[in-house]
């Protein structure tokens, strides 16, 4: 790829990742959390679109004890970039993946005895002891052994010679809304399993249940370690969870105006002729479209130009969108546009864009296409 000489990439549309803000967010969380509570930094799906290697490095420097991803390739990418922290992969692994986990010292979840026995034999032939965690399903009905059936499975796995049972985890179905009743029931179920483990003399290094919502609002479920993904990125999982002063978003999405044009009354704008000018208007063309991950809206949403809101008009194209800048007459070609983030006194946050799509912040963060260059600010912190 050709590199631009300036801090901007060649393409006049990009995603900006402020690593100093990421660092600050981790420090703020370190001050907010109880001193002995450990952090597992969840960096699946390229750290929610921010770049997993870059986020992993800041997490490590901030004292995170563990990293987690969702696929074997995500784990291997970290190892290939010399990330040496312990890495946990969520979900289930098939046999060929397990082999790689042993070779690369990647921790996986084993949730049934026959798989654990097979894994123990594989570790034995590699001359290693493999680290494993067990997931207890307390009500999400996704991965893991059902809480009511967990103890014998945990006991059997803890007894295998070539595995080290390092952790026991569970995962909330709903932790960030006002109604915590199901979350509380899940905590009770998990606690029952932990108590019965203690009664049998089974100890693990890490008991963990909380995602960001749980970390913020359910301190009774912190246990030894919390698995936080979205919080260090400066984004809250819901409108109602606890706030921590000073956290700010790490990601912004920016572009430059590629063309400015004047419309006469009656002119149409865009595919499907979804907008028609009722009076003479001035519009700006932005070289970023739904192929870059912006929701495919029609006559909805705003961007920021000169610190002011310009409404999106017409339907989005794959590679471009049009906005009305009649009220921002200073607009010129190659002026900077903010699609997500702050400009002057105005802000368009991830939740505003999520609303356009009837979705959530997690979806928007991970939807920005990798054809948008990532620009890392303050990479030396
Ligand atoms: C994605 C994920 C998390 C992190 O969730 P956040 O809300 O981003 O903190 C934690 N645990 C598991 C099992 C996950 O899949």
Buried b (16+ CB within 10 A) or exposed e, 54-63: bbbbbbeebe
Q: Is ligand 1 within 6 A of the CB of residue 144?
A: no
Separation of alpha carbons 14 and 113, rounded Å: 47
pLDDT per residue as tens digits for the range 139-167 = 999 999 999 999 999 999 999 999 999 99
Can you give the C-alpha Rg of the chain in angstroms? 24
Separation of alpha carbons 321 and 274, rounded Å: 13
Per-residue tokens: 213: 């919502």
Assign 9 a pLDDT band (cuts: 50, 70, 90).
confident
Residue 292's region, left for phi above 0, alpha for psi from -120 to 50, else beta, is alpha
Q: In ligand 1, which atom is closest to the CA atom of 237?
A: 7
Q: Is residue 45 scored above 70 in pLDDT?
A: yes
Of 118, 271, 275, 308, the active-site residue reads 271
Distance 44 CA to ligand 1 centre (A): 9
Q: Is ligand 1 within 6 A of the CB of residue 133?
A: no
Residue in 165, 171, 181 with CA at minimum distance from that of residue 147: 171
Sign of CA dihedral 352, 356, 358, 361: negative
Q: Is ligand 1 within 6 A of the CB of residue 230?
A: yes
Mean pLDDT of 277-305: 98
> Which pLDDT does position 114 carry in this prediction?
97
As a dihedral over the C-alpha atoms of residue 256, residue 258, residue 264, residue 265, rounded to 10 degrees, the angle is -50
pLDDT per residue as tens digits for the range 51-60 = 999 999 999 9
Residue closest by Cα to atom 10 of ligand 1: 211
Q: In ligand 1, which atom is closest to the CA atom of 176?
A: 7
Find where tokens 């890392």 sit: 376
pLDDT per residue as tens digits for the range 321-333 = 999 999 999 999 9
The 8-class DSSP code of residue 204 comes to -
Q: Is residue 1 scored above 50 in pLDDT?
A: no
Residue 254 class from Cβ within 10 Å (0-12 exposed, 13-18 middle, 19+ buried)?
buried
Q: Is ligand 1 within 6 A of the CB of residue 229?
A: yes
Q: In ligand 1, which atom is closest to the CA atom of 135?
A: 13
Q: In ligand 1, which atom is closest to the CA atom of 231?
A: 9
Distance 42 CA to ligand 1 centre (A): 6
Q: What is the pTM of this model?
A: 0.96
> Which pLDDT does position 380 carry in this prediction?
74
Assign 31 a pLDDT band (cuts: 50, 70, 90).
very high
Q: Which helix (H) or strand (E) holds 283?
A: strand 281-286
Cβ neighbours, 10 Å, residue 239: 9
Q: Is residue 198 scored above 80 in pLDDT?
A: yes
Separation of alpha carbons 364 and 1, rounded Å: 26
Residue closest by Cα to atom 3 of ligand 1: 211
Q: Is ligand 1 within 6 A of the CB of residue 190?
A: no
Active site residue 143: no
Mean pLDDT of 362-372: 98
Mean pLDDT of 287-313: 98
Distance 20 CA to ligand 1 centre (A): 23
Distance 381 CA to ligand 1 centre (A): 26
Of 44, 115, 254, 256, the active-site residue reads 44
Q: Is ligand 1 within 6 A of the CB of residue 212?
A: yes
Q: Is 331:306 a contact under the CB 8 Å cutoff?
A: yes
């Amino acid at each position: 790829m050709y590199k631009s000489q300036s801090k901007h990439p060649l393409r006049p549309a990009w995603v900006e990742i402020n690593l100093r803000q990421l660092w600050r967010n981790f420090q703020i969380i370190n001050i907010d959390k109880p001193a002995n509570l450990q952090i597992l930094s969840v960096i699946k799906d390229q750290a929610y679109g921010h770049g997993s290697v870059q986020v992993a490095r800041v997490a490590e420097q901030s004292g995170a004890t563990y990293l987690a991803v969702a696929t074997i390739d995500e784990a291997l990418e970290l190892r290939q970039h010399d990330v040496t922290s312990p890495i946990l992969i969520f979900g289930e692994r098939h046999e060929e993946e397990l082999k790689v986990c042993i070779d690369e010292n990647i921790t996986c979840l084993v949730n049934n005895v026959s798989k654990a026995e097979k894994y123990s034999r594989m570790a034995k032939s590699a001359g290693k002891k493999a680290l494993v965690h067990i997931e207890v399903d307390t009500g999400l009905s996704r991965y893991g052994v059902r809480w009511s059936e967990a103890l014998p499975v945990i006991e059997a796995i803890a007894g295998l010679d070539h595995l080290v049972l390092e952790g026991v985890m569970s995962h909330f179905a709903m932790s960030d809304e006002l109604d915590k009743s199901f979350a509380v029931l899940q905590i009770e179920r998990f606690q029952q399993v932990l108590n019965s483990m203690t009664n049998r003399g089974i100890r693990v290094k890490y008991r963990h249940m909380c995602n960001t919502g749980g970390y913020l609002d359910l301190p009774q479920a912190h246990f030894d370690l919390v698995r936080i993904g979205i919080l260090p990125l400066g984004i809250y999982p819901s409108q109602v969870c606890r706030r921590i002063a000073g956290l700010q978003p790490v990601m912004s999405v920016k572009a430059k105006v590629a063309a400015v044009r004047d419309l006469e009354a009656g002119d149409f704008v865009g595919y499907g002729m979804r907008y028609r000018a009722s009076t003479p208007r001035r519009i700006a063309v932005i070289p970023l479209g739904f192929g870059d991950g912006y929701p495919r809206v029609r006559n909805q949403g705003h961007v920021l130009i000169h610190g002011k809101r310009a409404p999106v008009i017409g339907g989005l194209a794959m590679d471009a969108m049009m906005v009305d800048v009649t009220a921002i007459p200073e607009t010129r070609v190659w002026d900077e546009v903010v699609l997500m983030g702050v400009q002057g006194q105005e802000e368009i946050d991830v939740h505003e864009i999520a609303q356009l799509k009837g979705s959530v912040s997690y979806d928007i963060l991970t939807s920005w296409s990798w054809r948008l260059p990532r620009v890392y600010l303050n990479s030396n912190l």
